[in-house]
C-alpha cells in the first residue's frame, strides 16, 4: 500500500477530529455574546466546510440552516463564501 493513502487517511481523521470540536460552541459559550466572534448561517442545500484563512480553524456547517461561531479574523473571507450569511447569534 502506498504511503500517500495512509497520509490521506490520517489527514481525514485530523479534520474529523477538528470539526467535532471547532465551530461548535458549548452551551455556556453560545449564551454569552463575544466581541471576537461572528455568527454565520449556511443557506445552501447540502453541507459545507470552510477553513478560516487567518486562524486556520475548520468551520463545519453540517446541514442547511446550521449556525456556527466564526473567529472575527476570518469573518471577511467567510462572509464571501456563497450560501453563508452573517447572523446575530446562534
Residue 35's pLDDT is what? 79
Please indicate, yes or no, whether the overall pTM of this predicted structure exceeds 0.75.
Answer: no
Instruction: For residue 70, count CB atoms less than 10 angstroms from its CB and return exposed for 0-12, middle for 13-18, buried for 19 or more.
Output: buried
Q: What is the model's pLDDT at position 27?
A: 44
Give me the half-sphere count of Cα atoms (radius 13 Å) on the Cβ side of residue 29. 13
Average pLDDT rounded to a whole number, residues 19-45: 67
Please give the Cα distance from 30 to 34 (Å, whole number). 9
Structural domain range at position 31: 3-87
Total structural domains within the chain = 1
Q: What is the mean pLDDT of the chain?
A: 78
| pLDDT of 71 above 50 | yes
For residue 65, pLDDT over 60 is answered with: yes
| CA atoms of 26 and 44, how far apart (whole Å) | 24
Q: Supply the pLDDT for residue 89.
A: 86
Amino acid at each position: 500500500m502506498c504511503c500517500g493513502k495512509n497520509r490521506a487517511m490520517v489527514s481525514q481523521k485530523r479534520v474529523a477530529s477538528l470539526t467535532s470540536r471547532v465551530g461548535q460552541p458549548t452551551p455556556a459559550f453560545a449564551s454569552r455574546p463575544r466581541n471576537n466572534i461572528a455568527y454565520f448561517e449556511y443557506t445552501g442545500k447540502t453541507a459545507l466546510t470552510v477553513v478560516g484563512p487567518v486562524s486556520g480553524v475548520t468551520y463545519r456547517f453540517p446541514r442547511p440552516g446550521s449556525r456556527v461561531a466564526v473567529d472575527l479574523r476570518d469573518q471577511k473571507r467567510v462572509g464571501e463564501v456563497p450560501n453563508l450569511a452573517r447572523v446575530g447569534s446562534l
